[in-house]
Amino acid sequence: MSIDIKTKCLHIESEEGYKNHYGSISYPIYQTATYAHPEVGCSTGFDYSRLQNPTRKQLEQTVEALENGIDALAFSSGMAAITALMEIFKPGDHLVTDADLYGGSIRLFDNINVKNGIEFSRVDCSRVEIEDYIKDNTKAIYIETPTNPMMRVIDIEKVAAIAKKHNLLLIVDNTFLSPYFQNPLDLGADIVIHSGTKFLGGHNDTIAGFVVTNREDISEKLRFIIKTVGSGLAPFDSWLILRGIKTLGIRMEKAEENAFEIVKYLQSEPKVKNVYYPGIPGTESYEISKRQARGFGSMLTFEVESAALAKHILKFTKLIPFAESLGGVETLLTYPCTQTHADVPEEERIANGITDCVLRMSVGIEAAVDLINDLKEAIDSYDGYKAQYI
Ligand X SMILES: *Cc1c(COP(=O)(O)O)cnc(C)c1O
Give min distance, CB of 146 to ligand X, in A. 10
- The residue annotated as part of the active site, out of 30, 102, 142, 277, is 102
Closest alpha carbon to 363 in 273, 297, 269, 319 = 297
Answer for the pair 375, 320: CB distance below 8 angstroms, yes or no.
yes
Q: Does 200 bind ligand X (CB under 6 A)?
A: no
Closest alpha carbon to 226 in 236, 239, 213 = 213
From 27, 102, 210, 239, residue interacting with ligand X (rule: CB under 6 A): 102
Q: Any bridge partners for residue 361, and if so which? A: 300, 333
Phi, psi of 42, deg, nearest 5? -115, 145
Site size toward ligand X, by CB under 6 A: 15
Q: Catalytic site residue 50?
A: yes
Q: Is the peptide bond before 149 cis (omega within 30 degrees of 0)?
A: yes
Q: Catalytic site residue 198?
A: yes
Give min distance, CB of 18 to ligand X, in A. 31
Nearer to ligand X, 119 or 173 (CB): 173
Q: Catalytic site residue 102?
A: yes
- The residue annotated as part of the active site, out of 71, 100, 173, 374, is 173
Q: Does 144 bind ligand X (CB under 6 A)?
A: yes
359 vs 207: CA distance, rounded Å: 23
Nearer to ligand X, 94 or 198 (CB): 198
Stretch that binds ligand X, among 25-33, 77-85, 115-123, 243-251 (CB under 6 A): 77-85
Binding positions for ligand X, 172-191, rule CB under 6 A: 173, 175
Q: Catalytic site residue 22?
A: no
Q: Does 207 bind ligand X (CB under 6 A)?
A: yes
From 54, 69, 78, 179, residue interacting with ligand X (rule: CB under 6 A): 78
Specify the DSSP element, H or E, that contains 316.
helix 307-316
Could you say which DSSP state residue 346 is in? H
Give min distance, CB of 197 to ligand X, in A. 4
95 vs 98: CA distance, rounded Å: 10
Stretch that binds ligand X, among 102-110, 164-172, 265-273, 346-354 (CB under 6 A): 102-110
Stretch that binds ligand X, among 58-66, 99-107, 154-162, 347-355 (CB under 6 A): 99-107
Q: Does 77 bind ligand X (CB under 6 A)?
A: yes
Ordered DSSP codes for 7-76:
HHTT----SSTTSSGGG-SSPP----SB---SSTT---S-SBTTT--HHHHHHHHHHHHHTT-SEEEEES
194 vs 200: CA distance, rounded Å: 8
Interface map 274-293 toward ligand X (x if CB under 6 A) = --------------------
Q: Which residue is nearest to ligand X (CB)?
A: 78
Cα 262 versus chain centre, distance: 21
Give catalytic residues, as residue numbers. 50, 102, 173, 198
Contact residues: ligand X, CB under 6 A:
77-79, 102, 104-105, 144, 148, 173, 175, 195, 197-198, 207, 209
